[in-house]
Amino acid sequence: MEGYNHREIEEKWQEKWALDGIYKVPDTEAGKNNFYQLVEFSYPSGNLHTGHWYAFAVPDIFARYKRMQGLNVLYPMGFDAFGLPAENAAIKNGGDPAEWTERQMEAMRTQLRSMGASFDWSREVVTCAPEYYKWTQWMFNQFLKNDLVYRDITMVNWCPKDQTILANEQVVDGKCERCGTEVVQSEQQQWMLRITKYADRLVDDLDKLDWPEEIKSAQRNWIGRSEGSEITFKLSTDDTVSVFTTRADTLFGVTYIVFAPEHPLLEILPIENRDEVNAYVVATKKKQELERQQSKEKTGVQLKGITAINPANGEEVPVWIADYVLSGYGTGAVMGVPQHDERDREFAEKMGLAIVDRPLVDKKEITEKVGGKLVKTYRLRDWGISRQRYWGCPIPIVYDPEGKAHAVPDEHLPWLLPTDVDHTPDGTAPLARSKELLERTEKIFGAGWRPEVETMDTFVDSSWYFYRYLDNKNEATFASPEKMDTWMPVDLYMGGAEHTTMHLLYSRFWTKALHDLGLVKDSEAYKVRRNRGLILGPDGNKMSKSKGNVINPDEYVERLGADTVRMYLAFMGPYGVTVNYPWDPNGVVGVRRFLERVWKLKAKIDVEKKVCKTDPLVHKTIKGVGEDIDEFKFNTAIAKMMILLNALEKEEKIVLGSYKALLKLLSPFAPHIAEELWHELDETESIHLASWPTYNTDFLIEETVTLAVQVNGKVRGEITIAPDIAKEDIEAAALALPRVIAIVAGGQPKKIIVVPKKVVNIVF
């Protein structure tokens, strides 16, 4: 037998598996239940890094395990292929983003294949393909018809470098998530999706989901529901202003009212110190949002000549504007209750406003009494999806000569992205420069019609991709109801923690919207969600080129093999928890050693041998490995296989069945070496089509058990006895230990506790 040559066998089996199509998944298979396991598809960067391996290769263990257990497992892969990097590459080097993307995808497919993952490539989904975005646009049209889409002028986050709008989720510490440029606020028209309409359900339905609390809590925080009252104050000018408060019970303690500087009433009120007020408003607008949030120093200006009447007691209180009141939240005006609110107190003290201590009242009663209403507000904003970029899904809208927006009718979908675009950025949307798009629009709709030149946020593309895997070639609909019935909802969705309040929230919204339109059955797409952690550099820091701590998986695959890399990543710690693990270049060698020893162990097989004293351990290992995989504890599953190997190696000769069982247990983790060794045993069918080994409980019955003997809770020795021995005999055996006799020294134990198979505690 040759030595373990990973290069040879990995390539050989990858080719063979592809050729035989062993991972091609039918929509239904007789006698098998379907299991839909999803991982977040990736952007085609053309560079498969350690993170990808951790994201795809480790869940592949689970998919393979489920398949061997007799489930019909779908584990698909695709590409979230629209997005800025392709366009930036085109800007930098010239060329076409579509071609660039295709090249990157081809490179990535090759790299992905090197993982030995069991993806069903026949179901691949590529979001930038017209066959795909046709349905993205179709859904947009459906949403438009059902009032889930609208056009609005809003303050947006604008990245001056990328020349595009960013969602709040894409702004990190006031900087563009992608390029790190300081984000500025600017007022723009854009297409909005009414995600806020679903805010309550997005919060409430979390309770039904088997998701880690950490994810649910992050989504709740992000949506930021708060329940309170809207109360109207009359002004001295006969105008009225509504305030939102969660503390209606403090209404009697109101000593002033404050507007946000952007409040629309400011323009119409007869303010005596108009110049002073305007100056404050202008100064506020100049401040960027970031600055406004950082400097907590209270500022503000009183609106002279304006007062408000407290509806609870008729008291007349002054009215101010101050930038500590946010225009985008609640009603953009608050009641100042310095006695009960820290911010109000700070403001009142600085401005010399009254602070009064009044009794609290019932929130609900007082709200009703003063004609207010109980309301909920949310931190979540509607989702602006307009991007002034080229490489995205075109928004299927055209404008008539009067400038009115119309949906591009379904029969003209896909509304193709034009190709005649100069990618040099000039601050305008690239599609505005396309002759092709304009001519197409006029040809179909008439002279004077103009196309929408914005493209969609790529989070739109990824909000429904998991449906398309189920039926990726369907030309009549995005996915047939029958196929969705057999697969949805997703049984297990593993992904990155960074998507918790972005993709994960958006796609939940999308599913609910499709559900309400009768297009899908479930209102939640993912039954179980697990976030994974990060693989850090050997120095314990996040991998980055500048730190020089980047681990290139290709090098390790070349040197030690894909099986070793997969298995090492699984061995580092439990999966599905957001814990970060540093890559240990020595640790990975340990896994390789394990595989080599499995390889060598084959020489010890004795086909004549039928029983071995390791047989019970084999059964125990089968049980344990299965249980660990069920809980995503791949690390301890591997440890158990190592324990078994250690024991088998100590034997002169081993039973063939034991070796086969070990190979089966190993096969989800290290699919190539397991397949190779399996075939060397004269097996002809793939090990990956074999069934998961079963264990015989007869072997799990222990002949003897070892109990710790404690005196007053401290371990003083141990006894090895038959498991079914009587309590009295156990006590006697424990008391007979020389060390116990020495400690007890003839005294009478107060009590003896016997925990079967575990411990004897002599309390003395």
Partner RNA sequence: GCCGGUGUGGCGGAAUGGUAGACGCGAUCGACUCAAAAUCGAUUACUCGCAAGGGUGUGGAGGUUCGAGUCCUCUCUCCGGCACCA
Shortest spacing between CB 310 and RNA, in angstroms = 15
* Whole-number Å distance between alpha carbons of 240 and 268: 12
Q: Among 277, 344, 270, 338, which residue's Cα sits nearest to residue 307?
A: 270
Q: Which of 296, 404, 473, 613 binds RNA (CB under 7 A)?
A: 296
* Residue 651 burial class via C-beta count within 10 angstroms: exposed 0-12, middle 13-18, buried 19 and up: middle
Structure tokens at 443: 């040809």
Shortest spacing between CB 530 and RNA, in angstroms = 13
Neighbours of 30 (CB within 10 A): 6
Shortest spacing between CB 172 and RNA, in angstroms = 7
User: Considering beta carbons, is residue 111 or 250 the nearer one to RNA?
Assistant: 250
- List, as one string, the DSSP characters of 4-62: --HHHHHHHHHHHHHHHTTT---S--TT--EEEEEE--B---S---HHHHHHHHHHHHH
Query: In angstroms, what CA-CA distances link 503 with 41, 454, 499, 506?
Result: 11, 21, 5, 5
Q: Which stretch binds RNA (CB under 7 A): 41-49, 126-134, 274-282, 290-298?
A: 290-298
Does 732 sit near RNA (CB under 7 A)?
A: no
User: What is the CA 762 to chain-centroid distance, rounded?
Assistant: 51
Give, as ranges, the residues between 582 and 601 that touch RNA (CB under 7 A).
582, 584, 586-587, 589-591, 593-594, 596-597
User: Considering beta carbons, is residue 98 or 639 the nearer one to RNA?
Assistant: 639
* Whole-number Å distance between alpha carbons of 686 and 16: 10
Shortest spacing between CB 227 and RNA, in angstroms = 8
State phi, psi for 398 to the nearest 5 degrees. -130, 155
Residues 6+ apart with CB under 8 A from 142: 517, 519
User: Considering beta carbons, is residue 337 or 437 the nearer one to RNA?
Assistant: 337
Does 643 sit near RNA (CB under 7 A)?
A: yes
Give, as ranges, the residues between 318 and 347 that touch RNA (CB under 7 A).
323-326, 328-330, 332, 334, 337, 341, 343, 346
User: Considering beta carbons, is residue 89 or 737 the nearer one to RNA?
Assistant: 737
Does 254 sit near RNA (CB under 7 A)?
A: no
Q: Which stretch binds RNA (CB under 7 A): 73-81, 467-475, 608-616, 643-651?
A: 643-651
Continuous segment of H or E residues that includes residue 439: helix 435-445
Sign of CA dihedral 223, 224, 226, 232: negative
Does 130 sit near RNA (CB under 7 A)?
A: no
Query: In angstroms, what CA-CA distances link 588 with 122, 354, 421, 593, 672?
Result: 33, 68, 48, 9, 17
Does 67 sit near RNA (CB under 7 A)?
A: no
Q: Which of 155, 578, 605, 657 binds RNA (CB under 7 A)?
A: 578
Length of the chain: 764
Does 753 sit near RNA (CB under 7 A)?
A: yes
In one-letter notation, the amino acid at residue 177 is: E
* Whole-number Å distance between alpha carbons of 156 and 183: 10
Neighbours of 757 (CB within 10 A): 11
Q: Which of 260, 348, 519, 670 binds RNA (CB under 7 A)?
A: 260
Shortest spacing between CB 473 and RNA, in angstroms = 38
DSSP strands (E only) in 322-369: 333-336
Binding mask 226-245 for RNA (x = CB under 7 A): x-x---------------xx
Does 298 sit near RNA (CB under 7 A)?
A: yes
DSSP character at residue 394: B
Find tokens 């294949």 and name the residue: 113
Shortest spacing between CB 249 and RNA, in angstroms = 10
Give, as ranges, the residues between 545 and 574 that touch RNA (CB under 7 A).
571-574
User: Considering beta carbons, is residue 204 or 584 the nearer one to RNA?
Assistant: 584
User: Considering beta carbons, is residue 236 or 635 the nearer one to RNA?
Assistant: 635
Does 264 sit near RNA (CB under 7 A)?
A: no
Shortest spacing between CB 688 and RNA, in angstroms = 24
User: Considering beta carbons, is residue 437 or 625 the nearer one to RNA?
Assistant: 625
User: Considering beta carbons, is residue 47 or 240 the nearer one to RNA?
Assistant: 240
Give, as ranges, the residues between 495 and 524 that touch RNA (CB under 7 A).
497, 500-501
Give, as ranges, the residues between 700 and 719 that touch RNA (CB under 7 A).
706-708, 710, 712-716, 718
* Whole-number Å distance between alpha carbons of 142 and 144: 5
Residues 6+ apart with CB under 8 A from 286: none
Does 748 sit near RNA (CB under 7 A)?
A: no
Give, as ranges, the residues between 69 and 128 that touch RNA (CB under 7 A).
none
Give, as ranges, the residues between 364 and 423 that touch RNA (CB under 7 A).
377, 379
711 - beta bridge partners? 714, 762
Neighbours of 109 (CB within 10 A): 16
Q: Among 561, 559, 562, which residue's Cα sits nearest to residue 53?
A: 562
Give, as ranges, the residues between 604 and 633 that touch RNA (CB under 7 A).
633
Q: Which of 62, 140, 581, 669 binds RNA (CB under 7 A)?
A: 581
Sign of CA dihedral 410, 411, 417, 421: negative
* Whole-number Å distance between alpha carbons of 438 and 453: 10
Query: In angstroms, what CA-CA distances link 416 with 21, 137, 145, 151?
Result: 33, 10, 21, 22
In one-letter notation, the amino acid at residue 388 is: Q
Continuous segment of H or E residues that includes residue 233: strand 226-235
Structure tokens at 73: 């497992």
Structure tokens at 747: 């005294």
User: Considering beta carbons, is residue 520 or 572 the nearer one to RNA?
Assistant: 572
User: Considering beta carbons, is residue 469 or 571 the nearer one to RNA?
Assistant: 571
Q: Which of 32, 109, 247, 527 binds RNA (CB under 7 A)?
A: 247
Give, as ranges, the residues between 471 and 500 that touch RNA (CB under 7 A).
497, 500
Residue 295 three-state SS: coil
Shortest spacing between CB 756 and RNA, in angstroms = 9
User: Considering beta carbons, is residue 171 or 416 the nearer one to RNA?
Assistant: 171
Binding mask 198-217 for RNA (x = CB under 7 A): ---------------xx--x
* Whole-number Å distance between alpha carbons of 127 and 80: 5
Shortest spacing between CB 354 and RNA, in angstroms = 17
Does 286 sit near RNA (CB under 7 A)?
A: no
Does 183 sit near RNA (CB under 7 A)?
A: no
Q: Which of 184, 432, 517, 639 binds RNA (CB under 7 A)?
A: 639
User: Considering beta carbons, is residue 163 or 578 the nearer one to RNA?
Assistant: 578
Binding mask 422-461 for RNA (x = CB under 7 A): ----------------------------------------
Contact (Cβ atoms closer than 8 angstroms) between residue 284 and residue 323:
yes
Shortest spacing between CB 594 and RNA, in angstroms = 6
User: Considering beta carbons, is residue 26 or 224 the nearer one to RNA?
Assistant: 224
Does 537 sit near RNA (CB under 7 A)?
A: no
User: Considering beta carbons, is residue 393 or 612 the nearer one to RNA?
Assistant: 612
